[in-house]
Structure 1
Amino acid sequence: MGEIKWGIIGCGDVTEVKSGPAFNKIENSSLVAVMRRDRLKAQDYAVRHGVPKWYDNADLLINDPEINAIYIATPPLQHEDYTIKALAAGKPVYVEKPMALNAAAAIRMKAASEEYGVKLCIAHYRRAQPMFIKIKDLLHEKAIGDVRFAQLQMLQPIASDVIATSETSWRLNPAISGGGLFHDLAPHQLDLMVYFFGKPESFSGLSLNQRGTGNADDMVVGQALFNNGVVFNGTWCFTVSPSNKTDLFEIIGSKGRINFQVFGNKVTLEIEGILKEFVFDPIEHVEQPMIEKVTNYFLGGDENPCSAEEAILSMKMMDSFTNI
């Protein structure tokens, strides 16, 4: 396989800028076809983005002989089914986060990858961005000494520019998304904990619907203990006032701390009261660095940038925090 010829299942909003255009901007990679159940919308996407083929049936795209890799960007409800079908067809899969509705589904996807001997990678794309690579380097260098604990506050008003919108508001429907807005944002944050600190040893939490509308919980708290002794505490609330909006991730060590916003572009390193800031340029297509790594992995020239095994760890934490 000298070139990855991609097919996208689910060419919705997430693929317009974040990911879709990147497939044609990477060496040995091209976007051949897209699929959406609404054929007119699939055609419109293909025409606007210069994609040669479009489908309204996922099976037809999966079995297109020109396509040799599949990107699944549907809501989480369809991730398991489409992933297993693509793997059975011998097509390696790059699937959006969260990996599935729950950890049990994610485990079945991993088992299918192993059964068919076909590669599977999960779109925890912050792992490939310079900002988070820098944080990991600082931790590896023990810039703040031995890490003691990490704490997260993700507090958002009902109307927030951090939270993606869609025509059907499917993110608020647990049957489609796995939960509420927590299931849309927390995969990024919890995967970073796995990326930075490895495997969690124990975890627990609780969630509830404080506002009392809809079917999704809007308040989640959770804690985890990692094998290396790092303790994590997280709070997610999606009904605060605009004045209390917060996106703060702190990592506290024996010599200092690292502060950053998961949805920002600045890292602050504080050692004995002395501050140093690292500011990173915005990335036009935020998934492009990850897609480049995935492409190289599918071509056999790189390791898996986020394996199913790693993604299952954050899925298990999410299930525990929300009592799934």
Structure 2
Amino acid sequence: MPEDIIPDATEKIARTAIDRRAIPAHANESVWTAADGHALRRIDWPGAQGSPRGSILFLPGRGDFYEKYLETLEEWHRAGWRVTAADWRGQAGSGRLGDDAVTGHVGDFSDWVDDLAHLWRDWTAQTPGPHILAAHSMGGHIVMRALVDGAVLPDAVVLSAPMLGMSGPPLPLPLLHGVAKVMTKVGEPTRPAWKWSEKPGEIPARRRDLLTHDGERYADELWWREKRPELVMGPGSWGWVERAYASTRAIEASGAMEGIDVPVLIVSTANDKLVSHAAAKRAAERLPRGELVEFGSEAHHEIFREVPAVRNRALDAVSEFLDRVAPAAS
């Protein structure tokens, strides 16, 4: 099958070329205000005229920015969806919460859940259904936490390489959390938890090998970092690590995921070196309406930014899932 064709459950949609280094003319960048007054960046696609397919809200991962996903967001828009993406507070174009402009920090993951709940209420009131939550990596963690907490109730959820567990030593979660707690006490919790490079702001060697096999799509990220320097972020803080483990324990608690009565598609790869594929598989099994699309050595962490053969398979699976569990409103 040609790589420029996406088979959809109802029709075949031509995947024409998209400029990944330009904000589409019909997309609108703006700022929205969280409940506490913090300004956060967002981007909106108006959706198809006439009968829209529905609406998708997309949230990126740690250190991410929505420019990296313009290609996917534009494709969803062309398929008839009303699309919105937003940065998390403390990263990309939504300010910083730590002591410098490079280290990623947060007081607690519940702050991000509260922001999502606030945006969700406003966004769903202004957009046509069905309403879909989609997220990548840390964004997937926050969406899952929001589902566990009952902060959002989407019609369906799509998670790409969700950070439901972090890649690292195979030690018990309480032990890893305990070590992180100690590290927040022996120094400032806002200090970097890992080394990024010898020069602050410089991309570490072999970073691409963790993210994607597609050199051109990886280069797009570097281009946006140079074009918009405010997007650059490096390591997470020890405070971020400790709060990530604490939030993971809340998600992993007995009965937490079992109580989520929402269709959830998890797209994950066994080749992931940043988040735990095993945790993603467990989540798909525990969720009452969970489904898993699994990749192997052909995919790194950023599955929606992979080579066409991988990316197309992932997006085809998303399209089929949404057509089945969240059909267009009649």
- Whichever structure has more strand as a proportion of its residues is 1
Identify whether the pair has TM-score above 0.5, normalized to the shorter chain: no
TM-score under structure 2 normalisation?
Answer: 0.34
